[in-house]
Amino acid sequence: MKRIFVTLALALTASTALAADLPSYKAPPPPPPPPPPLWTGFYVGLNAGGAWASNNSVYVTNWPAVGAVGILNLPLSGSQSANSGAGFIGGGQIGYNWQFYNGRLVAGIETDIQGIAGSSGGGASWIATPLGVIPDPQTETFIPVNLLSGISVRKSLDYIGTVRGRLGWLFTPTLLVYGTGGLAYGGVNVNLTSFQSLSFAGALLPLQGGTAGVSDTRVGWTAGGGLEWMFMPNWSAKAEYLYYDLGPVTGSAVNVALFGAPTVASVSQFSTRFNGNIVRAGVNYHFNWGAAPVVAKY
């Protein structure tokens, strides 16, 4: 019996040791919590860049006035180049973001306004029509007489603002690629001057002339896209492209005959379109008032 008890004791001791050496099967750890919504909340920022017009032409058409007498030629008709080139743009923006779809989508709304410097441009064209010659009693020669007709145009976009929706995808928690579109508005200016004179012996005799202008705020649309990078907590940098279209602008000028009693000699009508492109970079500060607090657990 003693041997039996010793044998049972050794067997129990060996089975306990083998059980201690077996691998332990534990439940897998819980998945990590989703990243905090870094993008949700209000933000404000500044931007700067460049803008250039897609349409630099002002189209002018002229008609003689009913009953006009003695007007030999009308100011030029056709497309006149305003040469409104690129300009510097700078301003600010404010908006709100909402991060959703497991933290991968960001939707929001943004409004901005920028001033534009250097976007004003103008151009002029004229034509000389020979009318004949007149005698010069002093030199006993003939002096050529020309009819000079011309058009001068100038256009500019003084400022532009937008109210846009944004929808983007987070490729990483801090890198957002987005598209944007909505309403655009801007301050437009167009000026037209038409003139006609007789030229002889170095002198000019004005025959008719007129001016017209439009200075207004026009509303249109805009669309584009960009990248935004959250490089520090609450701070992001962005690069953005926008196309804008504020629609057509038209106006007319009454050209008054200046010889004798002033009378309406002709009418000049102009039309142009304010559309173009904006490329800019900016920086935003995010308040993150709408973000849920991050609670550390130990």
pLDDT digits (tens, 9 = 90+) for 237-287: 999 999 999 999 999 888 888 766 667 778 888 999 999 999 999 999 999
Task: Compute CA distances 107 → 25, 66, 95, whole Å.
Answer: 44, 59, 11
Candidates 146, 131, 126, 147; CA nearest to 77 is 126
- Report d(CA 247, CA 221) in Å as an integer: 9
Element (H, E) at 20: helix 2-21
The predicted pLDDT at position 115 comes to: 94
Structural domain includes residue 78:
yes
Structural domain includes residue 35:
no
Q: Which residues of 239-248 are buried (b: 16+ CB within 10 A; e: fewer)?
A: ebebebbbee
pTM: 0.79
- 164-173: average pLDDT: 96
User: Could you give the number of structural domains in the chain?
Assistant: 1
Give the domain range for residue 55: 41-286
| 194 close to 138: Cβ distance less than 8 angstroms | no
Structural domain includes residue 8:
no
Between 89 and 6, the higher pLDDT residue: 89
Average model confidence (pLDDT) across the chain: 83
The predicted pLDDT at position 260 comes to: 62
CB-based burial of residue 227 (10 Å sphere; 0-12 exposed, 13-18 middle, 19+ buried)?
A: middle
Which DSSP category does 56 fall into? -
Structural domain includes residue 191:
yes
Give 63-106 pLDDT, tens digit per residue: 876 555 555 677 788 888 876 667 899 999 999 999 999 889 99
Structural domain includes residue 14:
no
Structural domain includes residue 176:
yes
Between 291 and 288, the higher pLDDT residue: 288
- Report d(CA 247, CA 287) in Å as an integer: 36
Helices (H), 68-194: none
Structural domain includes residue 177:
yes
Structural domain includes residue 148:
yes
| 93 close to 294: Cβ distance less than 8 angstroms | no
